Structure 1
């Protein structure tokens, strides 16, 4: 047996516990491989076979992926592929495919392309005529959703919100009436402030869940109204990966123009225009900017 063949066969192996296995050969393609989001036991056999048989594993952080490869005795070379070097690395990945090798794409945790780099790579690979093969597995949004107790028939994954206040508020306002369970990622140090903004914009009584450290030792689910969650996380030292889930809005019949005027006039009797508009918009489900505009008109007419 030649040295190259022996090295290839040794590389195309992985271990589970005390047992070693050989991976079947892969056709040249880009394989999108889901990896565990915390508990390494969540890796699938198909994912291990794919990672073992690939010519290279493209990953966000080689140090993070090395923890996984070492755990399962994988010898496949690692290549850093992230948003800062993507333009330089994409041609190398295409060259690997052209040489008849398979490429496995992984993120630091979970399913690649879900708030992770890879979208442009997939498009370029498809444009060159190669297949893109999904290898499904762990996903934080889905793990949080199925244990949340919130409706799962219609779901919108919104990823990370903008960090700045204005764009963040506008994005939540855009999503406010979406008839679906909303799923967000959030940074631990912003969780409390984000929950308070969600309570203000989406409604204090709207049902929410904060899922933390999914599949890990200290996995927790905090449930309650957005107002309750905002109070619970206010000033808290939050650690770990965070998924915030928010139930769909309640069905409300929109108020008529006469009803709107009556509600606004009552609210304007003891609060400023902005507060009155916010209160009535929340009660009626009407667009807050339109309610505010009408509140200004009524205030001007009555002054």
Structure 2
């Protein structure tokens, strides 16, 4: 196998003379800016200038980058609808000795796009693949959220419909990490409300237009954020939602503390909604919280 340190490095020609750096045949996963064109790395720009072909989600979007950086490599569309057809063509190109760069519309490839299937195939074929790191919307939003960044879980996009979205949130509500989601402007308010209903009123942040002129990060409890975007209408731009982890500490939660949370929730919600909210906020099994809530209602909660 080729030494990855040699994939993009200076070398000597057959006569022992210095030859300019040149990438070897491989699939290169190239991160592009998520907004500010100045965030392209020097290494990424050089690779794109030397590539034989650039595989991208949308040739119109990547075409603007090519124009800005004077890139001449031809582009081929590689997205959800073309992946199965184009993937064998990319493999053949690499086998023939070509340098293939894979980019997404913005940020790092393979994050919520079909690129991982291409990487799997390249590996199975015994070909080379390497990554040129750079801008990433989830990481940028996490850094700006003000929430713990030592442990996080990236989910990507939630389902469009509320029922399916709540089911997806229910599956991850006990994950002891900061949660990161992508979301569209038209679904943001409803999605935040569903998060509050399932995860509880956790601290959160909504980041949009990251690295651009009108970058905005709004922080607050999920319910407050849902109310804000419901009242203000659909925001513009690409959106990342970051949500705090469950509130249970490593040493666990006392029964008295659970009771206090339940009593507070039951003051303004039905039993079902109160249990869902407390279960999500604390990261506790719904059955455990429901059993304790019933005991409190019956007056034998101690």
- Same structural fold, with TM-score higher than 0.5 when normalized by the shorter chain: yes
| Cα distance, 1:182 vs structure 2 | 0.8
5 Å matches for 1:175-214?
175-204=172-201, 206-214=202-210
Among 208, 216, 220, which residue is 2:216 paired with?
Answer: 220
State whether residues 23 and 53 of structure 1, in contact with CA within 8 Å, keep that contact through their aligned partners in structure 2: no
| Cα distance, 1:249 vs structure 2 | 1.9
For 1:261 and 1:42, locate their aligned partners in 2 and report how far apart those are by CA, in whole Å.
49
Among 152, 155, 170, which residue is 1:155 paired with?
Answer: 152
For 2:169 and 2:60, locate their aligned partners in 1 and report how far apart those are by CA, in whole Å.
35
Moved more, 262-271 or 160-169: 262-271
Which residue in the other structure is 2:121 paired with?
124
User: Is 1:77 aligned to 2:74, yes or no?
Assistant: yes
Which residue in the other structure is 2:286 paired with?
288
Which residue in the other structure is 1:58 paired with?
55
State whether residues 197 and 277 of structure 2, in contact with CA within 8 Å, keep that contact through their aligned partners in structure 1: no
| Aligned-pair Cα RMSD in Å | 3.0
5 Å matches for 1:1-12?
none
- What SS class does the counterpart of residue 194 from structure 2 fall into? helix
**TM-score normalized by the length of structure 2:** 0.82
User: Is 1:230 aligned to 2:223, yes or no?
Assistant: no
| Cα distance, 1:26 vs structure 2 | 1.1
Taking a change above 3 Å as real, the CA distance of residues 297 and 166 of structure 1, as seen in their structure-2 partners, is farther
For 1:125 and 1:203, locate their aligned partners in 2 and report how far apart those are by CA, in whole Å.
42
For 1:271 and 1:231, locate their aligned partners in 2 and report how far apart those are by CA, in whole Å.
17
Taking a change above 3 Å as real, the CA distance of residues 266 and 216 of structure 1, as seen in their structure-2 partners, is closer
Which residue in the other structure is 1:95 paired with?
92
Taking a change above 3 Å as real, the CA distance of residues 262 and 47 of structure 1, as seen in their structure-2 partners, is closer
State whether residues 200 and 279 of structure 2, in contact with CA within 8 Å, keep that contact through their aligned partners in structure 1: no
User: Is 1:274 aligned to 2:272, yes or no?
Assistant: yes
Which residue in the other structure is 1:115 paired with?
112
| Cα distance, 1:148 vs structure 2 | 1.6
User: Is 1:134 aligned to 2:154, yes or no?
Assistant: no
For 1:40 and 1:85, locate their aligned partners in 2 and report how far apart those are by CA, in whole Å.
27
- What SS class does the counterpart of residue 234 from structure 1 fall into? helix
Flag structure 2 segments of 5+ consecutive residues without an equivalent.
1-18
| Cα distance, 1:254 vs structure 2 | 4.3
Output one character per residue of 1:87-109: Cα deviation in whole Å (capped at 9) or x when no partner.
11111111111111110000111
State whether residues 198 and 277 of structure 2, in contact with CA within 8 Å, keep that contact through their aligned partners in structure 1: no
Number of positions where the alignment pairs a residue of Structure 1 with one of Structure 2: 279
State whether residues 195 and 229 of structure 1, in contact with CA within 8 Å, keep that contact through their aligned partners in structure 2: yes
Moved more, 95-104 or 286-295: 286-295
State whether residues 273 and 299 of structure 1, in contact with CA within 8 Å, keep that contact through their aligned partners in structure 2: no
